[in-house]
Amino acid sequence: MEKIASFTINHIKLLRGIYVSRKDTLPNGDVVTTFDIRMKEPNREPAVGQAALHTIEHLAATFLRNHPVWKDRVIYWGPMGCCTGNYLLLQGDLQSADIVPLMQETFSFIADFEGEIPGANAHDCGNYMLNNLPMAKWEARKFLIEVLNAITPANLSYPNE
């Protein structure tokens, strides 16, 4: 089998940031851009804990699907299996820099969130007890301050080689 595109990225050099992972053209001509929202440097720092990442998923998905500008373009938000970030799929032929303000808003929302985690109950979620709001807020604030609010070109393009 051919190696899929996401396994061709040099994870040894990958920084935290926002990356265009792929673009797909649908039969109707619309483009879907998949973003790699990388919160951790792979294999060089601890991954996000599963409970915190699950909470980030609930909060980010809720925020994005209610965003006044972007909600109709949001297709999917979900965690990476390696627990170093998330995938965001948006309708449109987009670049990483196009969504920096959206990610700043999203992670600010998570960092400042108070109250009940949306969908974190037995009726709405398949593993509702796997949540950690304090750690989700901590991880979101760290990513926001250290990466999103100090974004550089190196955090917006996959490393060469």
**Mean pLDDT across 150-156:** 96
Please state, for a pLDDT cut of 70, what percent of the chain lies above it: 99
pTM of the model: 0.95
Grade residue 161 by pLDDT with cuts at 50, 70 and 90: low
The reported pLDDT for the residue numbered 140 is 98
Helix (H, G, I), strand (E, B) or coil at 107: helix
- Nearest Cα neighbor of 34 from 17, 22, 19, 18 is 22
Long-range contacts of 21-28 (CB under 8 A, 24+ apart): 21/87, 23/93
- What's the pLDDT score for residue 145? 98
Residues 88-105: tens digit of each pLDDT: 999 999 999 999 999 999
Question: What does the pLDDT average to over 106-111?
Answer: 98
The share of the chain scoring above pLDDT 90, in percent, equals 93
Amino acid present at 137: K
Identity (one letter) of the amino acid at 142? K
Q: Report the distance separating Cα 161 and Cα 153, nearest Å.
A: 16
pLDDT computed for residue 3 by the predictor: 85
Domains of the chain, CATH where assigned: 5-151 (3.30.1360.80)
